[in-house]
A and B are shown apart, each in its own frame.
Chain A
Amino acid sequence: MSTRVLVFSADELRGKIIRKVLDRNGLECMFFNRILETGDDIVQHSPDVVIVDTESCYPEEINHLRNICQTLKHEVVIVLGRETVIDRFKGPRMRKVLCLFDPLDPELIAVKIKETVSQKEKKGKLTGGDMLEKTLKHLLHLN
């Protein structure tokens, strides 16, 4: 199953650069620039990874992104932007959020995504997610 990535950036150019590099790295990527609709897009596409770029955002958009990041539990979340802005994305409910400071480095983003997703997969395997899937498939006559 390929990794699905949603990129949110108010800066069209940055968003497209990120998408291009991630696509080239074999990641299935979509780009959105309507920041205030982030929540809907996440519900609709249920991605594995969410990238939020704080560059060029208005303060209310940054607040919105912050709230969204606090609610995401299962997705890998990567926040991009200047150090002073990104500091606001730290705290107890943001433990799983990964921050990457400017200057923008899309190749580094791709590496981080691959690292985190493979760690997540390994963890899932070790804890018997596969076993449960097998049991359910067996009981539901799916295999």
Chain B
Amino acid sequence: MSVDKRKNITAILGPKGGVGKSTIAANLAIALSRMGKKVVAVDLDLGASNLHAIFGMRGSPKSLSDFIQNRVKNLADVVSTTSIGDLGIICGGDDPGIANMPHQKKIKLIRHLSSLNYDIVLLDMAPGASFNVVDFSIIAQQALLVTTCEVPSLLNVYSFIKSAVFRRLTFFLKHNKWFELLELLNQAKEPDKHPHLKTMEGFFSEARKTDAAAADSARKMLARIKPLVVVNRVRTDKDARVGEVIKNLLKEYLSIETAVIMTIRDDNAVGDAIAKLSPIMLDAPSSPFSQDIQEIASRIC
């Protein structure tokens, strides 16, 4: 995948709460930093921030709130240093969640995130699938969607990717002023009324009847969406195959061919490390969790 190295924003998402986003974000940041990357981890779970705790920090005198509330001009000024290589962290602070962040503030934050001078900017996102969370997944060069093997989390991940696909297509069609296709896309949101638009394939073949070139370029745009699904807390081989089920659904209904599935094992060492206020990547570098994180790090950098 060609990625602009200067603006390599990687968002760690998981619409269901408690699936392991922050634990993965913190330890992935450490793994990437140990591979020689200059990394900053950003806690975007405003209002319920805990990324600093996973790094073993008690808090920080400066936080994202200072930037959002205009107490600090540049986002770069709220980066705290850590004792781990070139790894910085932006702590979350105590603002209300980003679900409620006004549009202007969101745009400003995105602009500053994109211009941070780091190889990798890792965003630890809040749970949920509000427009703002989806938008951060869209601006990110890479999106890691974290799920457990349980049905509610899998449902959320599928729905999240579907929202991101519809939102991205909506922007794309609006931008190109292809309003007839936009209308068709809106119909596809109600598959019970329009069963022939139940799959993206159905949408594209219907769209081609109206404007073949526009439909093909929308399809091309969709082909660029490459979600990386991380199945966390895997205990058995059966759990590990859950990713395949999601991959099949994404292919069959959303025409996403390129989803990549990775797994992270369930590991008691995670809890032990948190109790010691030490990230597991440092506390137990050869634990199953740390090994799996290392693999993901090699894959995404």
Contact = CB atoms under 8 A, between A and B. Distances in A.
A127 B238 contact: yes
A124 B247 CA distance: 14
Nearest to B223: A44
B298 to A, nearest CB: 6
B83 to A, nearest CB: 28
B261 interface: yes
A127 B249 contact: no
Given A127-B238, A140-B158, A132 B245 contact: yes
A45 B258 CA distance: 6
A135 B237 contact: no
Q: Chain B interface mostly helix, strand, loop or mixed?
A: helix
A43 B298 contact: no
Nearest to A134: B245
Interface in B239-265: 240-245, 247-249, 253, 257-263
B192 interface: yes
Contacts of B159: 140
Nearest to A40: B1
Interface residues of A, number: 25
Given A127-B241, A136-B158, A141-B191, A43 B260 contact: yes
A13 interface: no
Interface centre among B241, B243, B259, B261 (most CB of A within 10 A): B241
Contacts of B198: 142
B193 interface: no
Interface of B: 1, 151, 154-155, 158-159, 191-192, 198, 226, 237-238, 240-245, 247-249, 253, 257-263, 295, 298-299
Interface of A: 39-40, 43-46, 67, 70-71, 73-74, 123-124, 127-129, 132-133, 135-137, 139-142
